[in-house]
Chain A
Amino acid sequence: MNFTNLQIQTENLPKVEGLVLKPISKSYFKIIMLNKLAIYAGLIGLVFGLKYVIEKKEEVQLNLYYMLSAVVVFCIFNFIVSLLAFKKRKYAMREHDVVYAKGLIVHSITTVPISRIQHVEESRSWLARYFGLSTLKIFTAGEAGSDLSIKGLPHLEAKQMKEIISDKVNGNN
């Protein structure tokens, strides 16, 4: 009934910490990289644009190099964080649940029991299709917070996972 009782029990419970989580497909990093590069290009373009507009209107000299280097430093920092964060994106499927871990600065491990899944969806953007990847979306009845979206799975594996989950969900009902 109480928590101390539980402490003894926990020895026998299936443990999430002992679980070997599988990293997502490496080629998903290429997609992240492409997206990031587009954003960085946009940012740097913005700096030039801003300089152009402001200097034309007012007689203010903006130091282009300061601004540019600030933006570049931000981009590099952002890139390093997303590279490290990428390595944290891991997933696993157990008999009764799906586990997904992600995040560098705020790391989270979410587990959704299969019996609580309402439906599964496998979606692919054109970029993901090119790299042979797909996103597995798992919806529960809860608020948006309890839904899972595992990005960057190899297409075949996503399909298999979807089949397995669908089968289990339908079997339970």
Chain B
Amino acid sequence: METTDFSQPIRQSSKGIIIIFAFNTFNFFKKFFVLFIAFGVSIMRRKTFGGITPTMMLLGLVAVLIIILIIAILKYLNFKFYLNKDDFHLATGIINKDNTIIPKSKIQNVYIKQNFLQQLINVVSVKIETAGDKKSEIEISALDKPTALLLKKKLFTKATIENDQEEYIDDTEVFFKVTPKRLLLEGLSQNHFKSFLLIFTFAFGLYNEFKDFLEALELEKHIDDFVKLDEHTILNLIITNVIIVVVVILISFLFSVVKTFIINFNLEVVEHQKTIEINKGLFNKVSLSLTPSRIQNLVITTNRVKQYFNLHSLSVKQAMVNVKQQKNFKIVALEKEQLNYLVNKLLITYNGEGEPGKPRPYFMRISALEMLVFGIVINGLSVFFFGVQMLLINTIFIPFAVLYVYFAFKKAYYIISDDFVTIGSGVIDTTTNILEIHKIQAVKIKQTIFQNRRRIASVVISTASKSVTIPYVSKSEALAIYNFLLFKVESQDKDWM
């Protein structure tokens, strides 16, 4: 196998031209999409537009494409990178030359990604992320896979531990590989409320579009019959409604399953000596590495159905990872033992022990209040749009609200041990949030003017990736937690990264 020498400035694979070209073309069309439509329509109508004929338009389009191609080639020619002992150097820019230098020690993450086009021409893109702002991200869009892997490894190995490299390779093993069956279960057991709502609104939108058409089908008459409470039509209507609901539910199931499959296709967790690597994706293949010291929060989610199938997901929150990328740090369909193993790998001393504390019953009052507001809005809307009969919705809504309040309170707890904070929450899902105390960035006590009288307060704990809240504990408890966490953070000389 030929190895690439990174110490000399090199270009990416020449296929990079295609990638850059495709990317720029796509962006160009996205930007001027509306303009194109407008032009297209007016030309269709009048054959000419200000003396411009369709042929001229076509020629113009070709010219634009050629310009984009030339830009792509120039970009490719001017894109060079090399590695020396501790830094990564990158030179870009056609007219304005940019020189970027990233010290190896400041690199947060290296992703290897492969979108559909890149899969077709068999290249991968390498993304290098530092802890700085979003602009400091670097993407090399076309490298062949062995080169990319080598580059990634070189970026992660510091000059001093170059000798350990062989050992480093030997220790990798595929720890977890998802089976299609478990992915299917994962997709099926998801919280369908979101996709249900999405599809429902979509269907509702469609219905509004085709309203005239449906009116032609004399639906109006059916509704009139319904008001008359004719037994036969009621039965019909109920059947139609049930069919509609079942179809929507089926579609939302399908939607969830397909989505899960596309995102998590061939999900694989590879265990290295110190890091963990995640590989997944069907159209967009991604490969990510997790370093324990970079992890800020761990979020474990499951729900009743998933628990039955022994399915757990683990999200890893890192500092400064942009929102889009954040989603990729999720490992789904883990078994309980695998989950525990992974958690222990990432947080070495974590054992989940400690005495759990509960929020005050005041928590239920707030949830109930939320539900009340929600209920008023729902009732108001349905009465406004569909008339007084829709008050029947409360027969479904009230039990739902009661269950919501009950489960929200039941599932809320917190554990504070010597090194970790664990917070449980969720209603339909069961969510467990784990963070290491020395990674805390700030602590806040929050209390509304009404809570002041009841001596209740909430504690908000911020890390570099997200904030979590211990809701509605008694003021003295909140202060004790507050003081303890601050004491822990300030007395230890541990770095957060």
Chain A residues packing against B (C-beta within 8 Å): 1-4, 6-7, 9-10, 13-17, 96-97, 104-113, 115-116, 140-143, 145-146, 148
Contacts and interface: CB of A to CB of B under 8 A. Distances in A.
A115 B493 CA distance: 9
Contacts of B339: none
A82 B484 CA distance: 32
B441 interface: yes
Contacts of B487: 13-14
Contacts of B460: 108, 145
Interface string B461-492: 01111110000000000011011101101100
A97 B490 CA distance: 8
Q: By DSSP majority rule, is chain A's interface helix, strand, loop, or mixed?
A: mixed
25 contacts: A1-B417, A3-B357, A4-B355, A6-B480, A10-B483, A13-B484, A14-B483, A14-B487, A16-B479, A105-B448, A107-B448, A108-B444, A109-B444, A111-B443, A111-B482, A111-B486, A113-B489, A116-B489, A141-B319, A141-B441, A143-B465, A143-B467, A145-B467, A146-B442, A146-B467
A143 B355 contact: no
A104 B447 CA distance: 9
Contacts of A148: 442
Which 8 pairs across A and B sit closest by C-beta, in order of nearness? A146-B442, A146-B462, A142-B441, A96-B490, A110-B444, A2-B355, A140-B441, A141-B464
B415 interface: yes
A80 B496 CA distance: 42
Contacts of A1: 353-354, 417-418
Contact of A110 (B416, B443, B479): B443
B177 interface: no
Contacts of B354: 1-3
B466 A143 contact: yes
Nearest to A84: B449
Of the four ranges (under 10, 10 to 19, 20 to 34, 35 or more), the interface on chain B belongs to: 35 or more
B462 A143 contact: yes
Contacts of A146: 441-442, 462, 467
A112 B353 contact: no
Contacts of A116: 440-442, 489, 496
Contact of A108 (B355, B415, B447): B447
Contacts of A2: 353-355, 417
A164 B480 CA distance: 28
Contacts, number: 115
B452 A6 contact: no
Interface of B: 131, 319-320, 353-355, 357, 415-418, 440-449, 452, 460, 462-467, 479-480, 482-484, 486-487, 489-490, 493, 496-497
B455 to A, nearest CB: 12
A110 B173 CA distance: 44
B445 A108 contact: yes
B72 to A, nearest CB: 37
B479 A145 contact: no
A144 to B, nearest CB: 10
Nearest to A3: B355
B447 A107 contact: yes
Contacts of B496: 116, 141
B444 A16 contact: no
Contact of A140 (B442, B446, B447, B448): B442
A142 B463 contact: yes
Which of B131, B441, B452 counts the most chain A CB atoms within 10 A? B441
Given A141-B496, A145-B442, A146-B467, 5 more contacts: A6-B480, A6-B484, A108-B447, A109-B445, A142-B441
Which of B357, B466, B467, B480 counts the most chain A CB atoms within 10 A? B480
A1 B417 CA distance: 5
A17 B482 CA distance: 10
Which of B416, B496, B497 counts the most chain A CB atoms within 10 A? B496
A106 B441 contact: no
B482 to A, nearest CB: 6
Contacts of B444: 108-111, 145
A142 B442 contact: yes
A35 to B, nearest CB: 23
Given A111-B442, A113-B490, A140-B442, A105 B483 contact: no
A110 B442 contact: yes
